[in-house]
Amino acid sequence: MRRAPLCVVVAVTLFASARAWATPEDDAKDLFVRGRELRAANNCADATPLFRKAFELMPSGLGSLRNIAECEQMLGHAASARRAWLDLRRALLTSTEEKYAGWREEAEAAAAELAPRVASVRVDVVVSDKNGEQPASATTPGLELMENGATLPSALVGTELERDPGTYRLRAAIKGGAPVEESVTLAAGEHKVLRLRVVRPERPAEAPSPSPSSPSRGGEVPADRGWQWPAGWVAVGIGGASLVAAGVALGLRQGALSDLEAACPAYETSPCGESARDPVSRGQTMSTLTTAFGLAGIVLGGAGAALLLTAPSARTGLRVGPGQVAFRVDLD
């Protein structure tokens, strides 16, 4: 009595597992069936996207591609329908399946029948600059081409573009320039040429940068102040810092002396106790540092001053003028 419910549970589990492991081909078949149902209800507008998705998932299913061609033709999209028929013909060149027998001839005939009803537009772009006007091409630098907000490859400029009947907004621009936009309406079998003129902006003239190694006429080239100038300032800076440190050490020495006088007032004439050891030690250390920093500051400061005085003058230079070459040295 319990076997029947158990079998039902097993069957449901197997069915659920099979659905969970559906392949892209299974999804493509489901989409194809739904598309066929919509087409049977004369709803090719909604059926076509399903056929396209089915063909993307399963390119070997050429039935989806044929339904795309037939639906586009029913919708009056001659260019899209002809393109789909030609894609089907190319795909059939490598197919050996019996179910597709005769399809290639039918695709060729349908594409040929649609050809006179295909509309087209050619977009010619002319670039205007200071040198005049030149027709744009795929190699024109900075060229941008758009159709209904979507970017088109620049290689399509000047090329016949097959389009379904409708209105198209075409836009051309050159990098840095103002875009030019124009709309064109195409009827079945109509061919139009759209000419867009864009202006390339002129680049601002760049001022030549002065070269220190090549003086202009009448100009003056400041002389190099040599290594003495930076070295002198470094020495003066370190010397000044040493003198500041000497002053700090001197102040600390005086503080230690005050502590010694407080701990042992008669330190000059009488021995002092253990309490005077620390101020004596600090005083001796600070005395040594005061002497060392003071001497270093004096020596480095003097050396730095000497280097600054012996550095080449900032007012020494070479002047080149009409009919003269002069070397000036100001020693004051």
Q: Identify residue 73 by its one-letter amino acid code.
A: Q
Number of other CB atoms surrounding residue 212 within 10 Å? 8
Per-residue model confidence (pLDDT) at position 180: 94
134: left (phi over 0), alpha (psi -120 to 50) or beta: beta
Which DSSP string corresponds to 167-193? EEEEEEEETTS--EEEEEEE-TT-EEE
pTM over 0.75: no
Task: Please tell me the distance from the alpha carbon of residue 69 to that of residue 55, in angstroms, as a whole number.
Answer: 12
Domain boundaries, the chain: 3-116, 119-199, 229-308
48 vs 251, residue with greater confidence: 48
The pLDDT tens digits of the residues spanning 88-117 come to 999 999 988 999 999 999 999 999 999 999
The CATH superfamily label for domain 3-116 reads Tetratricopeptide repeat domain (1.25.40.10)
160 vs 234, residue with greater confidence: 160
Angle at 33 between CA 31 and CA 37, to 5 degrees: 115
Number of other CB atoms surrounding residue 233 within 10 Å? 14
Q: Is the pLDDT of residue 173 over 80?
A: yes
Q: Which of 152-166, 258-272, 276-290 has the lowest mean pLDDT?
A: 258-272
Per-residue model confidence (pLDDT) at position 287: 82
Task: Please tell me the distance from the alpha carbon of residue 85 to that of residue 111, in angstroms, as a whole number.
Answer: 6
| Contact in structure between 179 and 196 (CB atoms under 8 Å) | no
Find the mean pLDDT for residues 110-127. Answer: 95
- Domain range 119-199, its CATH number among 3.30.930.10, 1.10.260.40, 2.60.40.1120, 1.10.10.10: 2.60.40.1120
Q: Is the pLDDT of residue 134 over 50?
A: yes
The pLDDT tens digits of the residues spanning 33-91 come to 999 999 999 999 999 999 999 999 999 999 999 999 999 999 999 999 999 999 999 99
Per-residue model confidence (pLDDT) at position 2: 44
Rg (CA), the chain: 47
Q: Which of 211-215, 223-227, 276-280 has the lowest mean pLDDT?
A: 211-215
Per-residue model confidence (pLDDT) at position 34: 97
| Contact in structure between 82 and 111 (CB atoms under 8 Å) | yes
Per-residue model confidence (pLDDT) at position 207: 59
Task: Please tell me the distance from the alpha carbon of residue 125 to that of residue 159, in angstroms, as a whole number.
Answer: 11
Question: At what angle are helices 228-263 and 277-310 packed, to 10 degrees?
Answer: 160
Pick from 19, 89, 30: which is nearest to 54 by CA? 30
Q: CA 20 → CA 39, 50, 242, distances in Å?
A: 28, 21, 83
188 vs 221, residue with greater confidence: 188
What proportions of the chain, in percent to the nearest 5, are helix, strand and coil?
Answer: 50, 20, 30
Q: What are the residues facing 197 on neighbouring strands?
A: 126
| Contact in structure between 226 and 316 (CB atoms under 8 Å) | no
264 vs 114, residue with greater confidence: 114
Q: What are the residues facing 183 on neighbouring strands?
A: 169
221: left (phi over 0), alpha (psi -120 to 50) or beta: beta
Per-residue model confidence (pLDDT) at position 284: 83
Find the mean pLDDT for residues 272-276. Answer: 73
Q: Is the pLDDT of residue 25 over 80?
A: yes
Per-residue model confidence (pLDDT) at position 304: 73
Task: Please tell me the distance from the alpha carbon of residue 146 to that of residue 183, in angstroms, as a whole number.
Answer: 12
Q: With cut-offs at 50, 70 and 90, classify the pLDDT of residue 4.
A: very low
